[in-house]
Amino acid sequence: MSKRFLFGFLFFVLIAAILVRLFPHAPNFTPVGALALFAGVYLAKKSRFALLLPLGVMFLTDLFIGFYDFKLMAMVYLSFLFYAVFGLLIQKRKNLLSIASATLAGSFLFYLMTNFAVWAFSSFYPATLQGLMFSYSMALPFLKYTLLGDLFFVAVFFGAYELVLAALYKKQALLNEIKESLISLRR
């Protein structure tokens, strides 16, 4: 029951991640980081390949949105892989604090890595420490949306999954109790 529900839930999460990324949205306000964290926590137990799901979503949607400088794309993709690794690291001690911490760590690492890449691999900013700091300061509005998007979608994905899973277990426990009662009545 739980495994079937997980894959059904994953299907909807993947569709949501693809659609949100393809339709107009605030910059960086997407569910890809949340999907990566979810994959690390819930799916990596089944297969380590699940950690690549967010990269698949990125690649598929980039086919429609468009590709850009390979080095910058590689850093964006790699940063989403780190979200999944953070999920993998907390999967055995999953709780509200560890999930929130992993979400924030993913958001800030995404910010640091991608803006470092913009500074290092493009001509937007001078190749100086001041240029790097300017790159980071110019990206603060994007960090805000990354944080808001990650926190929102992590809350939705993890919250919905855990609520429905708890309801399914409660229903199963009730059915087992009824079954046991009926069996004892027959005796």
- Is there a domain that residue 176 lies in? no
Total domains, the chain: 1
Query: What is the pTM for the complete model shown?
Result: 0.87
Higher pLDDT, 56 or 7: 56
Q: What's residue 44's pLDDT?
A: 80
Cα–Cα dist 47/59, whole Å = 20
163: number of Cβ within 10 Å: 10
State pLDDT tens for residues 58-91. Answer: 999 999 999 999 999 999 999 999 999 999 999 9
Instruction: Compute CA distances 75 → 10, 17, 47, 110, 149, whole Å.
Output: 25, 19, 24, 9, 19
CB distance 31 to 17 below 8 Å: yes
- C-alpha closest to that of 107 among 161, 28, 160: 28
Q: Is 169 part of a structural domain of the chain?
A: no
Identify whether 186 is part of a domain. Answer: no
Task: Tell me, yes or no, whether 95 lies in a domain.
Answer: yes
Q: pLDDT of 135-160, one tens digit each?
A: 999 999 999 999 999 999 999 999 99
Of the candidates 107, 109, 87, 108, the residue with the CA atom closest to the CA atom of residue 98: 87
Report yes or no on 47 lying in a domain. yes
Q: Is residue 184 part of a domain?
A: no
Domain containing 50 equals 2-158
Residue 185 lies in a domain: no
Residue 7 binned pLDDT confidence (cut-offs 50, 70, 90):
confident
In a domain, 86, yes or no: yes
